[in-house]
Amino acid sequence: MMRPTSLGGSFTLGKSSLTVNRMGYGAMQLAGPGVWGPPKDPDGAVAVLREAVAAGVNHIDTADYYGPHVTNQIVRQALHPYPAGLVIVTKLGGRRPPDKSWQPAILPQELTAGVHDNLRNLGLDVLDIVNYRVMGSGHGPEEGSIAEQVTVLADLQRKGLIRHIGLSNVTASQVAEAQAITDIVCVQNNYNLAYRHDDTLVDELGRQGIAYVPFFPLGGFAPLQSAALEAAAASLQAKPMQVALAWLLHRAPNILLIPGTSSVHHLRENLEAASMELSPETIAELDAIAIGRPHGSVGA
């Protein structure tokens, strides 16, 4: 059984019965370099997952195209049979060909095959939540209809293979388009202390009771760097990345975090951020970090 620890409080995903602690875990870094192949330390990867769940994490984000197949297989090895209350969120919409590139997989047959790949490698009969991940030319969302892909997932949901549907790397108009087809329980986009193009969307989803899950919460390929962040961390006797995570939890109650790491030590540091208190003055200083910063400059 998972320890009943509240990591940043809890949130119920949409109209579902799935309630998760706000600090979760992202499994992408469990694969090898470049999110390709097995990790250098398979036992260490298993240990990180078991430590996370023992600490109260009950929201794990993964995808079968990580590796490919690697992270899902490690999740199964480490945690199956899964403890009651553990919510596993996976993604469709991408594939990893032998050249290690990231390519879209958006045809109905590709999405259907992706669901079955996730079920098989995770050892599940039904997937808790599947995010349709829009694979654009960069790391930011691009306008364009996603109705066909969401309709495929809604059909798979009606067949009992998916419980709930979410979206990833999408615009506000794409969220609205998807909601005309089916209920959406979460949106996963690039968002962090410095990159806040989704401020309006975060608040609108909060009014609807929909979770917003930042990917690249610590900056992604360009880690967050700021004198204000460093100063706030020093005053709190904390690591800058812990402060960045704590700011996200303070930003809105519908924000759920899934920072990833392959280190038990870093996992514990991330989880500690859920209990950090930020004063109004510190929050105001951190809020100012994004002012004057061009959109897309961090993790774009």
Name 265's Cβ contacts closer than 8 Å, sequence gap at least 6: none
**Which pLDDT value is given to residue 227?**
84
Q: Tell me the pLDDT tens digit for each residue of 149-201.
A: 999 999 999 999 999 999 999 999 999 999 999 999 999 999 999 899 999 99
**Which pLDDT value is given to residue 294?**
39
**Which pLDDT value is given to residue 296?**
36
> 75 pLDDT exceeds 90?
yes
Classify residue 193: in a domain, yes or no: yes
**Which pLDDT value is given to residue 217?**
87
Q: What is the pLDDT confidence band of residue 300, given thresholds at 50, 70 and 90?
A: very low
Percentage of the residues of the chain whose pLDDT score is greater than 70: 92
Q: What is the pLDDT confidence band of residue 238, given thresholds at 50, 70 and 90?
A: very high
Exactly one of 66, 191, 195, 212 is catalytic; which is it?
66
Domain count, the chain: 1
Instruction: Check if the beta carbon of residue 150 is closer than 8 Å to that of residue 178.
Output: yes
Classify residue 129: in a domain, yes or no: yes
> 116 pLDDT exceeds 60?
yes
By the 10 Å C-beta count (0-12 exposed, 13-18 middle, 19+ buried), 284 is classed as: exposed
Classify residue 9: in a domain, yes or no: no
Q: Tell me the pLDDT tens digit for each residue of 217-236.
A: 887 656 677 888 899 999 99
Q: Is 65 a catalytic residue?
A: no
> 3 pLDDT exceeds 70?
no
Report the C-alpha gap between 183 and 208 in whole angstroms: 11
- What is the 3 state secondary structure string of 232-275? HHHHHCCCHHHHHHHHHHHHCCCECECCCCCCHHHHHHHHHHHH
**Which pLDDT value is given to residue 224?**
72
Q: What is the pLDDT confidence band of residue 17, given thresholds at 50, 70 and 90?
A: confident
What average pLDDT is seen over the chain? 92
**Which pLDDT value is given to residue 62?**
98
Instruction: Check if the beta carbon of residue 161 is closer than 8 Å to that of residue 265.
Output: no
Classify residue 8: in a domain, yes or no: no
Q: What is the pLDDT confidence band of residue 299, given thresholds at 50, 70 and 90?
A: very low
Instruction: Check if the beta carbon of residue 281 is closer than 8 Å to that of residue 254.
Output: no
CB atoms within 10 A of CB 299: 22
| H/E run at residue 214 | strand 211-215
The b-or-e profile of 86-115 (16+ CB within 10 A means b, else e) is: bbbbbbbbbbbeeeeeeeebbeeebbbebb
Ramachandran bin of 118, using left for φ above 0, alpha for ψ from -120 to 50, beta for the remaining angles = alpha
Classify residue 155: in a domain, yes or no: yes
**Which pLDDT value is given to residue 225?**
73
Q: What does 59-75 look like in DSSP terms, one character per residue?
A: EEE--TTTBTTHHHHHH
Least trusted range by pLDDT, from 84-98, 128-142, 256-270: 128-142
Classify residue 37: in a domain, yes or no: yes
Classify residue 280: in a domain, yes or no: no
Report the C-alpha gap between 270 and 46 in whole angstroms: 17
Length of the chain: 300
Q: What is the CATH number of the domain that holds 80?
A: 3.20.20.100
**Cα angle value 167/297/99 (rounded, 5°):** 65
> Could you tell me the residue range of the domain that residue 183 belongs to?
19-222+252-261
